């Protein structure tokens, strides 16, 4: 059966990226690999929009990058504030709890975008907050939180607090300018908008975040200071780096702005087309990384996801309390207009089939 991957990560990869994975393995101490590593580093600063800075690559997932950012700039025991509007806001909460930090939570209803005024109010009550942990694209709800406004609100209410952003699914899908928005950490992963298999995490820290060296958590492989300047204290995932190099070349050849606008357009077309079929958009403020859709009344989202999977088409299902009502197809991968048509036809067929059953 033909397999099709339309989940919000891992995503379908361009054939050039798959072919690069099959190249003979490079040793990580050879001039050839060091050159590739440097080129990937430069391309990552372009995609992260942090010219002249360094984006570090880790073996691991987006969560590894989240954890690394957290333990490399938040002092042991410091109070942190988590903006929590879904599964990935929850992940920040779990990380802060695992490291035994007191947590103030800005709980956001699933599907809604966080309100900067609420953040201001909460930070005024907690002026000692060492860091605000935010999600740019909340993949579980399809919401794109307004990081620019939230960061500004945080900076005004708690000027010394760090602002740390999970951009795992938003990178190269939505506008993100860490320097202009005065962010302190941005993390992402390889298997989403960067069109590479899962297994790499990325971390960018601001000079302010790098400077916070007071009472940091014990750590070894995730000690980012040991990785600055292209150093490799441990063996990197060289084959994934080779694939990432090709993927970044493709993305930057198209142009970051063009990639973002294509993804925004395809996702919007998918949402609109699905609305005409009777689905409803779930997110108040839409992330281009995923089309969160409430299925029509009387239809089980779970059954619909299963129906598609049985035909080789993989989309994201609703998570937790949304499992019965929401589906999450995504065009974040190697996708164009024809994929929108294919997905809408599949969503239409599935509704008909489930109505008959």
Binding-site ranges for a copy of itself (CB under 8 A): 3, 5, 7, 9-13, 18-19, 21-28, 30, 59-64, 67, 94-95, 98-100, 189, 191, 197-199, 217-221, 223, 233-240, 309, 314
Closest to a copy of itself by CB, 30 or 261: 30
Closest to a copy of itself by CB, 19 or 180: 19
Instruction: Report yes or no: 296 and 348 within 8 Å, Cβ to Cβ.
Output: no
Q: Which of 63, 101, 67, 66 is nearest to 81 (CA)?
A: 101
| Cα 279 from Cα 263, distance rounded (Å) | 20
Closest to a copy of itself by CB, 81 or 247: 247
Closest contact distance (angstroms) between CB of 33 and a copy of itself is 10
Give me the torsion for CA of 301, 188, 34, 216, rounded to 10°.
Answer: -130
Closest to a copy of itself by CB, 123 or 313: 313
Apex 15 CA angle, 12 and 18, nearest 5:
80
Closest contact distance (angstroms) between CB of 22 and a copy of itself is 4
- Residue 328, SS3? strand
Closest contact distance (angstroms) between CB of 70 and a copy of itself is 8
Closest to a copy of itself by CB, 95 or 174: 95
Closest contact distance (angstroms) between CB of 121 and a copy of itself is 29
Q: Which two tokens stand for residue 75?
A: 């002092």
Residue 333: how many other CB atoms lie within 10 Å: 22
Phi, psi of 327 (to 5 degrees): -120, 160
Closest contact distance (angstroms) between CB of 290 and a copy of itself is 14
Closest to a copy of itself by CB, 27 or 231: 27
Closest contact distance (angstroms) between CB of 38 and a copy of itself is 18
Q: Residue 273 forms beta bridges with which residues?
A: none
């Amino acid at each position: 059966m033909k397999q099709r991957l339309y989940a919000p990560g891992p995503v379908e990869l361009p054939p050039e990226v798959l072919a690069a994975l099959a190249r003979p393995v490079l040793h990580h101490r050879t001039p050839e690999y060091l050159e590739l590593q440097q080129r990937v580093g430069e391309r990552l600063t372009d995609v992260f929009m942090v010219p002249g800075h360094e984006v570090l690559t880790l073996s691991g997932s987006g969560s590894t990058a989240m954890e690394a950012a957290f333990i490399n700039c938040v002092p042991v025991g410091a109070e942190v504030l988590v903006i929590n509007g879904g599964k990935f806001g929850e992940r920040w909460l779990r990380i802060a709890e695992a490291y035994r930090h007191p947590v103030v939570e800005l709980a956001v209803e699933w599907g809604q975008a966080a309100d900067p005024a609420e953040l201001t109010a909460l930070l005024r009550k907690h002026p000692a907050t060492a860091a605000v942990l935010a999600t740019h694209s909340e993949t579980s709800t399809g919401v794109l939180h307004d990081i620019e406004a939230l960061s500004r609100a945080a900076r005004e209410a708690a000027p010394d607090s760090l602002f740390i952003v999970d951009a795992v699914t938003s990178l190269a899908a939505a506008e993100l300018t860490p320097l202009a928005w005065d962010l302190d950490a941005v993390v992402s992963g390889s298997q989403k908008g960067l069109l590479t298999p899962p297994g790499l995490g990325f971390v960018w820290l601001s000079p302010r975040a790098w400077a916070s060296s007071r009472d940091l958590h014990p750590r070894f492989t995730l000690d980012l200071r040991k990785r600055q300047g292209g150093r490799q204290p441990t063996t990197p995932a060289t084959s994934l780096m080779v694939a990432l190099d090709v993927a970044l070349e493709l993305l930057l050849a198209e142009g970051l702005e063009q990639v973002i606008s294509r993804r925004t357009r395809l996702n919007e077309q998918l949402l609109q087309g699905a609305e005409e079929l009777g689905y409803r958009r779930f997110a108040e403020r839409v992330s281009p990384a995923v089309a969160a859709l409430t299925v029509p009344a009387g239809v089980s989202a779970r059954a619909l996801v299963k129906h598609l999977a049985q035909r080789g088409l993989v989309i994201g299902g609703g998570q937790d309390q949304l499992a019965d009502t929401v589906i999450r197809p995504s065009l974040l991968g190697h996708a164009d207009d024809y994929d929108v048509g294919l997905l809408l036809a599949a969503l239409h067929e599935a509704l008909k089939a489930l109505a008959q059953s």
